Amino acid sequence: MSLDLSQNDLSHVVEADRAHVWHHLSQHKPYETSDPRVFVEGKGMRLWDTKGREYLDAVSGGVWTVNVGYGRESIANAVRDQLLRLNYYAGAAGNVPAALFAEKLVERMPGLTRVYYSNSGSEANEKAYKMVRQIAHRHYKGKKWKILYRERDYHGTTIGTLATSGQPQRAEQYGPYPDGFVMVPHCLEYRKQWDVENYGQRAADAIEEVILREGPDTVGAIVLEPVTAGGGVIVPPEGYWQRVQEICRKYDILLHIDEVVCGLGRTGSWFGYQQYGIEPDFVTMAKGLASGYAAISCTVTTERVFEMFKDDPADPMSYFRDISTFGGCTSGPAAALENMRIIEDEGLLANTEAMGERCLANLQALMDKHKVIGDVRGKGLFLGAELVADRTTKEPLDEKRVQAVVADCLAQGVIIGATNRSLPGLNNTLCLSPALIATPDDIDRITDAIDAALGRLAA
Ligand code: PMP
């Protein structure tokens, strides 16, 4: 039986939502008194809520997820067919879409060969951290157990991944945390920590300084976002990634790239790291992997990492003793296979690059008009505009005014985002991440809405 969506039911839905759903990232009071948006339907980049209001979604489902857009019949059909054939089997046995998707995925990731399935970005990252820890136990006599992470980066919501939160405000009140996670400085040139010419090199050198301080033989891995998402849409400066790679090789440190946001086309290449020519040891991905049509995440590694878990008859604990119950759902890889086919056949990587350039140019033009924009940054359809109270001091614009811009766009029927609500110092960057199918008209409508909202803000 499918859901009956008569108008009567829809007003009841809003009441049920208000009464019983504990919403993510929401303070209770403001939500209770708000006019909540409960979405009913989506098509392409458009959404409709219970009141029949139409929106242009410039944030791909709120958090950079619906890369190929809403209402994709072919993904629904692929999932349906697979569920009727076989919905699930977990553990050591395999299933058809998982095998076929793993093969297709690594074909697009030269140097990587093994795919470990789970359900969320946090989980994919936790798996990689556990692998690093087990490698330390098995191959380095308990050394090389520390994992470095970067200021402003985010890797998930579990206790383990929060221990690598570069946004300390997110981790506050959930401790104590496990040991061995060490923060390195961020690389956002707009908010310079060093007054030097070659900022990329300097920011990467700061990682080496932490490694030397901690002792290179204690550091096993570093986890980094290729382009930082929630921490402010940070596109690393020239030369940064090459130097990071050099440092990792020099000290035998595994490079873990968190592609939970950038993966599957967001930056205009299959993966964000591929924009910078680096060779990671771990790549984790989730959101765009199946564009939100099913829950799936992957931890992808090299053969070298896989081989470090080689069976050792003298050590019955030598294999990776981990499981993810819903890593055995076939809906995830079935949806991911079709999602990948769509990105390829519809030329969405090239579209992302072209539309990203258009969006960035539009935002840059808005900078001339609106002094409140301190900086604009972006790679592909992953863009940010940092709002400041004063361009010279770069004092962040206060959250109320940033949210007023988001609310104004919403009133115009355009959903945009802003980084890190209620996290002081991180809450002043407007975020855009339209689906990879965006057209020039969609892009212009989004930036026109921001233009109008900033005009009203100034007035
Ligand atoms: N890594 C990054 C870069 C993210 O942005 C997120 C989620 N916003 C995660 C990991 C965690 O993913 P999930 O919410 O699926 O656990």
pLDDT in tens, 24-59: 988 888 777 888 889 999 999 999 999 999 999 999
Outline where 268-398 has alpha helix (H): 303-307, 331-345, 348-369
State residue 72's pLDDT score. Answer: 98
Q: Does 4 map to a domain?
A: no
Sequence-distant (≥ 6) Cβ neighbours of residue 237 within 8 angstroms: 187, 189, 199, 200, 203
State residue 424's pLDDT score. Answer: 72
341 and 351 co-located in one domain = no
Q: Does 3 map to a domain?
A: no
167 and 52 co-located in one domain = no
**What is the Å distance from ligand 1's center to 4 Cα?**
33
396 and 256 co-located in one domain = no
Distance, CA of 355 to CA of 447 (rounded, Å): 12
Domain count, the chain: 2
Task: Specify whether the CB–CB gap between 386 and 428 falls below 8 A.
Answer: yes
Q: How confident is the model at residue 1 (pLDDT cuts 50, 70, 90)?
A: low
Atom of ligand 1 nearest to the CA of 225: 3
375 and 234 co-located in one domain = no
The percent of residues above 90 in pLDDT, for the chain, comes to 86
332 and 279 co-located in one domain = yes
Pick the closest to residue 270 from 199, 344, 184 (CA basis): 344
Sequence-distant (≥ 6) Cβ neighbours of residue 96 within 8 angstroms: 86, 330
Nearest protein CA to atom 13 of ligand 1, as residue: 121
**What is the Å distance from ligand 1's center to 379 Cα?**
18
Residue 17 identity: D
Nearest protein CA to atom 1 of ligand 1, as residue: 155
**What is the Å distance from ligand 1's center to 312 Cα?**
34
Distance, CA of 428 to CA of 425 (rounded, Å): 7
141 and 266 co-located in one domain = yes
Q: Does 317 map to a domain?
A: yes
Render the burial of 436-458: b for 16+ CB within 10 Å, e for the rest.
Answer: bbbeeebbebbbebbbbbbeebe
Atom of ligand 1 nearest to the CA of 63: 8
Q: Does 2 map to a domain?
A: no
Is residue 5 over pLDDT 80?
no
CATH number at residue 248: 3.40.640.10
CATH number at residue 454: 3.90.1150.10
Distance, CA of 200 to CA of 237 (rounded, Å): 5
319 and 274 co-located in one domain = yes
109 and 201 co-located in one domain = yes
The ipTM estimated for the assembled molecules is 0.99
Task: Specify whether the CB–CB gap between 327 and 119 falls below 8 A.
Answer: yes
Burial class (CB in 10 A: 0-12, 13-18, 19+), 8: exposed
**What is the Å distance from ligand 1's center to 257 Cα?**
12
Nearest protein CA to atom 7 of ligand 1, as residue: 156
**Neighbouring C-beta atoms of residue 16, cutoff 10 Å:** 12
370 and 321 co-located in one domain = no
Dihedral of alpha carbons 361, 367, 368, 369, sign: positive
Ligand 1 site residues (CB inside 6 A) read 63, 120-122, 125, 154-157, 225, 229-230, 258, 260-261, 286
113 and 196 co-located in one domain = yes
22 and 125 co-located in one domain = no
Q: Does 1 map to a domain?
A: no
Which residue, of 306, 327, 345, is where some domain finishes? 345
State residue 326's pLDDT score. Answer: 93
State residue 316's pLDDT score. Answer: 86
Q: Does 331 map to a domain?
A: yes
Domain extent at residue 359:
9-68+347-458
326 and 372 co-located in one domain = no
